[in-house]
Structure formats: structure tokens, C-alpha cells
Structure 1
Amino acid sequence: MKVAVVAHRRKVLGGGLGELRRRLEQAGAGEVDWREVPKSKKAPKQVRKAVEAGADLLFVWGGDGMVQRCVDTVAGTGVTVAIVPAGTANLFASALRIPRDIRAAVEIGLRGERVRYDLGKIDGEHFAVMAGAGFDAAMIEDADRRMKKRSGRFAYVRTALRHVRDEPVHTIVHLDDELWFEGPSTCLLLGNIGTISGGIKAFDDASPFDGRLEVGVATARGALQWARTVAAMATGRTDRSRFVRMGSARRVYAEFAEPVLLELDGGARKRVKRLEAEAVPAAVTVAVPRR
């Protein structure tokens, strides 16, 4: 088994990358193809090089953004991804029950069960957890690196307060080629895995094994309506909120009256006036704890 590491060198966990090296050596990983990057968007190039060099097990050190860049690169290949959750948000790792512990993550990567997971895909780029356009993307973009380092997940709360009064945008959404929603909205979410920050279930029925994406459109506007919406999500009653409409599809097409910001797994992208998304069944193999 040829092992490679692609690490976001600015992310911190336990004894850092030095401990990861030691744990891999002690666990018998052999000669490791070691690669570090200063930011997640630099990861795909190094992942491709590692795969070309023969890696069949790829350890990814970082948060959801780093994991997203890496699974997007290896999707559809035979490479297994092993996550070492060293980011601010580690929603995919949490959903897979991978602890924030270097020794445990190494053991899972080397000897854990191999499971194939669905991914979502928007305009050619894969995501593992969730994609969004509108409110959540604007919130994420504002939580810059220094704020997240200083405040952790609270950074998202602070930036959310800046955007609760954002104006809605006229939105049209088709699910599997059928018109599903038309009207003003403040957020469009696409979920492959249902849980977001704070353990809140955004999509109660989301599964990374059903070949479908969960879809939610929020019409909440203002602090009170958003507070009611989040309260419904926190109590597991998202579909009962008057400010949320929920559905499910293999393919999603959306149009917006004006450009809105897009995010994939917590990483802000560009502003878009339309998007095309689909579920990609069994797209990536991930190492998870043995049952």
C-alpha cells in the first residue's frame, strides 16, 4: 500500500504535522509521499502528483474545505481518502465518526473499513457535505481566516448577524426537470450529508448512499424569521418551518434574478446567476472506523 499525505500546513491538531509523521512511521506506513500546501486551493495539484506517483491511500490533513478539494480530485478513482480532521469545521469527518485525534485517525486510515460515498457535483466540482447559494455563502465568505482562527465556529455566528437582513432574490428551482420552486428566497442549500455546524440537522433524510441530493430553499428574512428557522432546524423539525421548503432530487437546476455567492463545503466560490447540480453515486472511497 502506497501512502501519501497532503496537508494544509496552517491547520493545527494535537502535536501537529510532526506527530502525524511519527504516528505513520510507528504504525508501519512505510515510505510516505509527503506534500504540504499553504492553502486548500493549492491541494488538487499535489493530489494529482501523488496519484500519478502511485498513491492508493491519501491522508488529508485539514478541514472541510481541504477535504472537498481532495475528494474532488480523486473522485472516480480507486484512491482511498483518510481524513485527519484539523480544521475549524470538520463536518464530513464528524459524520464519518472520525475523531480529532491523530493516533486514532491514522489507525482508521491504515486499517479502517473502506466505504464508497456519494458526492454532490456543481458545475463540474464535487462536494462532500453541502453546497449553498445566498445567505450561507455570504456568511462563510465574511468569516475570513483570521476571524476563524481567533473565534473558531463563533466566527460564523458573528458574520451571520451581518446578513440576516439581506434582501431576498427571485429564484427558480427545477428538481429532475420539474419546476419545484419559484419566488423570493434568501438561501438555497444542497445537502449530501444532513448535519451542519453545532450538530444541527439541516436535512433529516440526507444520506450519502441514496444517489440523491436533499434540497432546501429558505425564505427567512430578518433576525426573527431566521431565529425561528434555526430553532426549527435545531429541534429536528426543519420541514415544518414556514420559512423553508424541502425536497430531494438526482439533478437540480436553479436560476437567480441577480448573481448570488456560491459555496462548497464551507469554501466560498464565485457569484452565479444559475447552477446545475447532481448527485454522483459511490464517487469516492473513504476510510472509516470499523463497525
Structure 2
Amino acid sequence: MLRHRQAVGTVAVIAHRRKSLGGGLDELRRLLADQEVDRLLWYEVPKSKKAPKQARKALKEGAELVLVWGGDGMVQRCVDALVGSGVTVGIIPAGTANLFAGNLGIPEDLPEAVRIAFHGESRKLDLGKVNGEHFAVMAGVGFDAEMIKDADRGLKDRLGRIAYVWTGLRHVRGELVRMEVKLDGVTWFEGEASCLLLGNVGTITGGIEAFDDARPDDGWLEIGVTTAKGPIQWARMLGRMSSGRSEESPFVRMTRARKVHVRLGAPMTYELDGGAKESVTRLKAKVVPGGITVRVPASAEPGEEPAE
């Protein structure tokens, strides 16, 4: 049972009504009734792209705490609208992958997620920014983005996380594309590659520990380029990544930077936090240190597992 604490002023809920966790939004309302909330704002949206408008409304209405109900797409859309506002965000992981929540130690348990949102520790966390839009978990171009684009075509709702595996298998034979990657103004990679990843946290799509030392509050973006082609090379590379030895793969180059400029030899789809975007030939990215304040478990540092 949640304990009563000091009153919270204005709390806003921004919920993807097609997502569910525990007893659903009805249970969320009951749990919020146990908190000392002076004023509750409630916004439901049918899809994540409708969320930014509601987030901006919540700011205008004076929200001090914004609870985001949904997956990584909802979180990404909301933090993009709330960045720099000073408002605190509580994450209720009701989506498919919930990578940002998982990296922060926020469990897929509704009462506990609500407890953390109200009584956890407030931490300023970094965001990434790609082509003018912010992300919390990762951005990618190439294999990763094509896999996510296919999963978004109804498969994710029907199959859940396995949709990423299914669509990933279809893209391991994809062609390499020429890339030029500049980090902080210096050319770092120039050649053919199948995937470029920018990470703010360690665990990415499919639960893979892609960036072993990543932290969402260190002021850096993690960078990875993959040159794997075909099922055998991809299997070898993913095997190394799944065992936490990404840097040992001959098909991976990894480092970190604050600013990234990418030029592609052909148009490629890119993605932010599991949401597919348009095809581009250039990417411009940077880290936004301390861009958003998020409630996390008080016993865990960002990017670490909570203490038992």
C-alpha cells in the first residue's frame, strides 16, 4: 500500500490509451487517489504523436509532475516537448519494450512505478538530439531503423517484443551503405556500414547491452558503427553484444562524443527511441546534458540496477 506523503501541487497524466499495465488506467486513477495531489490533469491520446500537444498543455496548466503512461515512443515524444522546462517526469512503463524505464530501474509494476514517480529521487538526465528532435534511449540509422519501421507496421501491437526479432531476421541480408561520421568535428569513420547507433543508455532494442559503460548523466553520447553483412556476420556480432563484449567484435567500432555529423551515400531511414522517422542523407546529433528531470528509484544510480 502506498504511504501518504506531503501534498503534491499539480500532477498531469499523459496516457497512451492503447497501452496497458497492471489494472490499466482505472487502477492508475485509484493509485493516484492515494496520493496527496492538489490538482490532477488527465490527458489521453490514441497515438504517441498526439502526446507533445498535451505535454505543452500540461506545462501551461502549471504541472509540476508529469506522469507518462506508455512505451519509449510516448516517453520520447513527451520529453521532446518538456526538455528544459524544469518539470519532473515520472515514467509508467506500459509499452512494448520500456527501454528507458528498464535502464533506470523502474519496473513494469504499476504500484511500484507510481511510488517511484511520487517518492523516488529526482535526477537530471541527459538527452540526445538528432535533426532537431530529442531522444532518451537511442537513435539509429540503417539496419536498426529498418527493423523498427517494419515492426511498427502492426506487428508490434500483435506480437510485442518478438516483432523486433521477426523483422530483424528479414534485414540481416541488407546492403552496406557508405557513411562518413564526424565526431566533435573530426572524421572518425569513413566507409561502408550497415548500421549506426547513438546511445544515451546501455541496453537497447531486444534487450542487448550495446554500450557497456553508458550512463544517462555523463554528458556523452555513445557511438557505434556496424559493418556486419549477412546472417553469419550478424550472428557473430550479436553474440558478442549479448554477452557484454561489444567492443571485441571485428564488425563493430565504438566510442563516444558530444557532437555527431553523419553523411550517408544513399537515403536511409532513421529511428528515435523505437519510432521510425523519414529517410535522410544527413544526421546532425548532439548530447543535451541534464535536459530532463526524471524520478528514479532512490537506491539506484541512473543506468544501474536497483539494489536488492
Residue number in structure 1 paired with 2:107: 99
In structure 1, the residue matched to 2:133 is: 125
Equivalent residue, structure 2, for 1:158: 166
Aligned partner of 2:256 in structure 1 is: 248
Q: Distance in 1 between matches of 2:44 and 2:233?
A: 43
Partner residue of 1:211? 219
Number of the residue aligned with 2:10: 2
Distance change in 2, residues 1:145/1:27 (3 Å) = farther
* Alignment partners' CA distance in 1, 2:206 and 2:263: 30
1:31 aligned onto 2:39: yes
Q: Provide the residue aligned with 2:247 in structure 1.
A: 239
1:19 maps to what in 2?
Answer: 27
Match of 1:109 in 2: 117
Q: Distance in 2 between matches of 1:27 and 1:145?
A: 39
Q: Deviations over 1:178-225 (max 9, x none)?
A: 000000000000001011244321011211111110100001111111
Task: Please provide the CA RMSD for this pair.
Answer: 1.0
* Contact 1:5–1:35, Cα closer than 8 Å, also in 2: yes
**TM-score with structure 2 length normalisation?**
0.93
Structure 1 residues 142-151 or 272-281, which shifts more?
A: 142-151
State the secondary structure of the residue aligned to 1:55.
coil
Deviation at 1:280, TM superposition (A): 0.6
Task: Give the AA of the match of 2:232.
Answer: L
C-alpha displacement of 1:246: 0.7
Aligned residue in 2 for 1:46: 54
Structure 2's unaligned 5+ residue stretches are: 1-8, 300-308
Secondary structure in 2 matching 1:32? strand
Alignment coverage as a number of residue pairs: 291
CA shift digits 1:136-178 (9 cap, x unpaired): 0000010135312221111100001111111110000000000
Assess if the C-alpha contact under 8 Å between 2:165 and 2:206 holds in 1.
no
1:279 to 2:287 alignment: yes
Q: Distance in 1 between matches of 2:152 and 2:222?
A: 28
Separation (CA, whole Å) in 2 of partners of 1:45 and 1:263: 21
Residues 121, 127 of structure 1: 8 Å contact kept: yes
Amino acid at match of 1:141: K
Amino acid in structure 1 at the alignment position of 2:26: G
AA aligned opposite 2:241: M
Aligned counterpart for 1:270 among listed residues 254, 273, 278: 278
| Cα distance in 1 between the residues matched to 2:104 and 2:55 | 22
Taking the aligned partners of 2:30 and 2:286, their CA distance within structure 1 comes to: 40
State the 4+ residue runs in structure 1 displaced beyond 6 angstroms.
Answer: none
Aligned-pair CA distance for 1:72: 0.9
Letter in 1 for 2:298: R
Equivalent of 2:87, from 79, 84, 99? Answer: 79
Confirm whether residue 186 of structure 1 aligns to residue 194 of structure 2: yes
How much has 1:134 moved relative to structure 2? Answer: 0.5
Letter in 1 for 2:271: E
Which deviates the most, 203-212 or 65-74? 203-212
Separation in structure 2 between the aligned mates of residue 122 and residue 200 of structure 1, nearest angstrom: 22
Match of 2:175 in 1: 167
Q: Within 2, Cα distance between the matches of 1:195 and 1:265?
A: 12
Cα shift at 1:27: 2.2
Normalising by structure 1, report the TM-score.
0.98
Distance in 1 between residues matched to 2:290 and 2:152, nearest whole Å: 33
Render the CA deviation track for 1:21-54: whole Å, top value 9, x for unaligned. Answer: 1100122324310000000010000000011000
Distance 2:152 2:126 in 1: 29
Structure 1 stretches lacking a partner, 5+ long: none
- Structure 1: distance between partners of 2:22 and 2:262: 42
d(CA) in 1 for partners of 2:213, 2:295? 23
